[in-house]
Amino acid sequence: MESSAQIFQYILSGLANGSIYGIIGFGFAIIFNATGIINFAQGEFVMLGGMVTVFLLSLLQWPLVYCILLAILLTLIVGIIFERLAVNPLKDASPITIVIITIGASIFIRGIAMLVWGKDTYPLPSFSGDTAINLGGATIMPQHLWILGLTCIIIILNRLFFYHTIYGKAMRACSVNPKAAGLAGINVRAMVLISFAISSALGALAGIIIAPLTLTSYDVGIMLGLKGFCAAIIGGMGSGMGAVLGGFVLGILESLGAGLISAGYKDAIAFIVLLAILFFRPGGLLGRSGIERV
């Protein structure tokens, strides 16, 4: 019989992992909202965040925080280049074509990363040490607190951006009705570019804050990207808050499953949850029914 402290422990680490999935899912949702595209290269932004930070840290020997900011900026630039080269030139391509292009781009980015950094895994130091904190019988790493705190900040910032700035509102307008948005004087293509910039930066941040816990390598983007995708689907594709909620649900179930059943099933659980949601509630937890995107 597992003790309640242990369950609490699983939930805590589930929340932390779930935050990461949620942030990545948020990135999926933002691009999906602006363009209707599911960007399967999202995971590579996550990988780039972690790997570039590790690389900058050893190259420049700067304090961690500068390396992190620079890594986010560089990933954001990659996101913008990606949009300009791979997405923007397409006019009226079918969604399936675009999805295949994003998969192609993700393989390309991963390949480059492997050539540059090799197949090794790299550690990233924790932001504020590795002394575990005792919390009601469970232990929590300072890094977990960073993850939870930054997730809250991201949620608040996104809320402010999308509901209280004219550009955020314009992006929501593009997702509801791109044609009408153009007629209101909104440059829809510029909004698409901004959506790629925001998602790549979010992806990078997710990759950076989880790296101290899990190590990072050229191929972490595959699994993290898929988990983020699951989070977005569970929450209802196109709903940013839904993605974060989906991430929490996914993270907690995964961690409980791994703890109570077997750690070997950790990844399987994510996909079982995904399938269950698609069977029973295809619109996601917060999504509207049907295929209308919001």
Partner 1 sequence: MLTVKNVNTFYGQLHALKNVSLHLKKGEIVTLIGANGAGKSTLINTISGLTPPRTGSILLDGFAIEKLPPHRIVELGISQVPEGRQIFNTLSVKENLELGAFLYLRKKGGRRLYEEMVEKIFHLFPVLRERCHQPAGTLSGGEQQMLAIGRALMARPQILLLDEPSMGLAPLIVKEIFSVIHALARQGGTTILLVEQNAKAALRIADRGYVLETGKVIMEGEALELMENKEVKRAYLGRDRKDIWER
Interface with partner 1 (CB under 8 A):
166-167, 169-170, 172-173, 176-177, 179-189, 294
Integer Cα distance of 148 and 16 in angstroms: 6
Smallest separation (angstroms) from partner 1 to the CB of 73: 23
Q: Which is nearer to partner 1, 147 or 191 (CB)?
A: 191
Residue 59, judged by CB atoms within 10 A of its CB (0-12, 13-18, 19+), counts as exposed
Q: Which is nearer to partner 1, 19 or 175 (CB)?
A: 175
Q: Which is nearer to partner 1, 170 or 231 (CB)?
A: 170
Q: Which is nearer to partner 1, 59 or 180 (CB)?
A: 180
Q: Which is nearer to partner 1, 185 or 264 (CB)?
A: 185
Smallest separation (angstroms) from partner 1 to the CB of 197: 17
Q: Count Cα atoms within 13 angstroms, Cβ side, for 6.
A: 8
Smallest separation (angstroms) from partner 1 to the CB of 163: 9
Integer Cα distance of 229 and 40 in angstroms: 8
Q: Which is nearer to partner 1, 87 or 181 (CB)?
A: 181
Smallest separation (angstroms) from partner 1 to the CB of 17: 31
Contact 226, 43 (CB under 8 A): yes
Smallest separation (angstroms) from partner 1 to the CB of 164: 10
Smallest separation (angstroms) from partner 1 to the CB of 166: 5
Integer Cα distance of 104 and 67 in angstroms: 28
